[in-house]
Structure 1
Amino acid sequence: MLVDYANKELTQKYQLMAQTIIPRPIAWIVTQNEEGLLNIAPFSYFMGLSSEPATMMVSIGHKSDGSQKDTLKNLRETKKCTICMVDEAHLEAMHFSSKELASNESEAAAFNIETKEIVEGFPPMVAGIPSAFFCEFYQEIDLKGSKTIPLVVEIKAQFIDDEIISDKEKITLDYAPLARVGKSYALLGKNITPPTIK
C-alpha cells in the first residue's frame, strides 16, 4: 500500500505518523505565566536536535477552540521551560495532565503533581522524575499553513537523579523512560548491542 498524504485528512495523517514514527519520547513541559501560575503538559512530537548548541525541538498544537496552548503562550512570554522525562511511576499524572484546562487553572493543583525548585530562574521540575532539562527559548519555526508550532529550546542545565547513574565517571544512565506508541504508552524493551564494525 502506498499512501498519498495529499489525499488524507489531518487526523488520518496524524494517526499514520503516530503509529509508525515510534517510539516517541515524551516531553512533560513545565512553564509558568508572568504571574507565576504553573502549567504542566505532555508532548510527544519531541526530539533532540543538536549537541552544539545543545537543543531540542517540540511541536505544539492549539487548544480545541483554536487558541494557543498555555505552554506555547508561556514560552513566548517568559522564554523558559523545564522539560521532564517521564518514568512509569509518573504515567498516570502525566496522562491526566494532557486534559485541557482553563488558562487560570494549574495541572499541578488539579492533579496533585508535586514540583521541586532546582535551578533559579527556571520553572520547577516535577518531583521524583529521573531527569529534567532546564531550557531557554531558542527559535520558533514557521511551518507555512500549519497550526502546529515547532519550537527549538536550548538546554542550559540538566538534572539527573543519582539513582539512575550507573557510571559516574562516564555519566552512563540506566533508566526506563516512557514513550508514546500510537495511542498507547510503552517502556523500551531489551537493549540490543550492535556488532563491531571492522
Structure 2
Amino acid sequence: MIFTFSPTTPLQNFKILSQCLIPRPIAWISTIHSNGSINLAPFSFFAPISLEPTILSVCLMKKSDGSPKDTLHNAKTSKRVTITIPSPQESAQVQGCSLELELGKSEASELGIHLTSLLSDYPPVPSGCQCAFFCDFYDVLGFQSATDTLLLELKQCFVSERCVSDSSDDLRFVFEPLARAGSGFKVLQDL
C-alpha cells in the first residue's frame, strides 16, 4: 500500500510513522508547572538531531481539545526539562502517565510515582531511574497545527552506576530501555 502524507491527515501521518520507525526509546519527560506540580508524560516521537550543540527533539501531538500539551507549556515557561529512559518494569506507570490531566495537575502525584531530584536546577525523575537527560529549552518548531516539535539542548546526563560496565573508560552502558516497537512496548537489548 502507498500512503500519501498530507497536512490534513496528521493523525494518519503520526500512526504510520510511529508504526514504521521502530524501535524508538520512550522519553518519560518531567517538567515543573508554575504552581510547583510535576508533569510526567511519555513520548515515543523522541530522537537526537544534532551533536554540536547536542539537541534532542520531541514531537508532541496536541491534546484532544486542540490545546498544547502540558509538557510544552511547562518547558516554555520553566526552560528546564528532564527526560528519563524508563525500564520495562515501569511500563504500567509510563502508560498511566499518558492520560490527559488538567494543566497544573501532577501525574506523579495522581499515580503515586515517587520522584527523586538528581540535579536541583532540573525537574525530578522517577526514583530508581537508570538514565536521565537534563535539558534546557531550545526552541519549538510548529510545522502544522496538530503537532509541535520541542527542541531541547542536552546539558548533562545521568547513568545509574548499576548500568555502567566494569570498563567505564569506553562508555558502554548496560540497561534495559522501554521502547516503542510496533503496536506495543518492547525491551531493547544488545544494540
Q: Give me the TM-score of the superposition, normalised by structure 1.
A: 0.89
1:5 Cα deviation from its structure 2 partner: 2.7
By how many angstroms is 1:3 displaced? 2.4
CA RMSD of aligned residues (A): 1.7
Instruction: Pick which of 37-46 and 2-11 moved more.
Output: 2-11
Secondary structure, aligned partner of 2:169? coil
- Please give the alpha-carbon distance, in whole angstroms, between the structure 2 residues aligned to 1:44 and 1:183: 12
AA paired with 1:92? A
Over residues 61-94 of structure 1, what are the superposed CA-to-partner deviations in whole Å (9 max), with x where a residue is unaligned?
2111111111010011011010000111211111
Gaps spanning 5+ residues in structure 1: where? 192-198
Give, in whole Å, the separation in 1 of the partners of 2:162 and 2:10: 42
Matched with 1:170 is 170
Deviations 1:91-137 (A, max 9, x none): 11111110111123211111111110111211111111110011100
For structure 2, the residue ranges without an aligned partner over 5 or more in a row are none
Partner AA of 1:29 in structure 2: I
Q: Relative to structure 1, is the Cα distance of residues 7 and 76 closer, same or farther in structure 2, using a 3 angstrom cutoff?
A: closer
Counterpart residue identity of residue 141, structure 2: I
Cα gap change, 1:58/1:95 in structure 2, threshold over 3 Å: closer, same or farther? same
Q: What percentage of residue pairs aligned between the two structures are identical?
A: 34
Q: Which amino acid aligns with 2:172?
A: T
Contact in 2 for aligned 1:90/1:129 (Cα 8 Å): no
Matched pairs, number: 190
Superposed CA offset, 1:17-54 (max 9, x none):
22111112111000001221100000011001222111
> Is residue 70 from structure 1 mapped to residue 70 from structure 2 by the alignment?
yes
TM-score (norm 2): 0.92
Distance of 2:57 and 2:8 partners within structure 1: 25
1:126 maps to 126
The residue correspondences of 1:1-198 to structure 2 (distance < 5 A) are: 1-6=1-6, 9-143=9-143, 145-166=144-165, 167-191=167-191
Distance in 2 between residues matched to 1:64 and 1:6, nearest whole Å: 20
Give the Å deviation of 1:183.
Answer: 2.9
SS of equivalent residue, structure 1 residue 13: helix
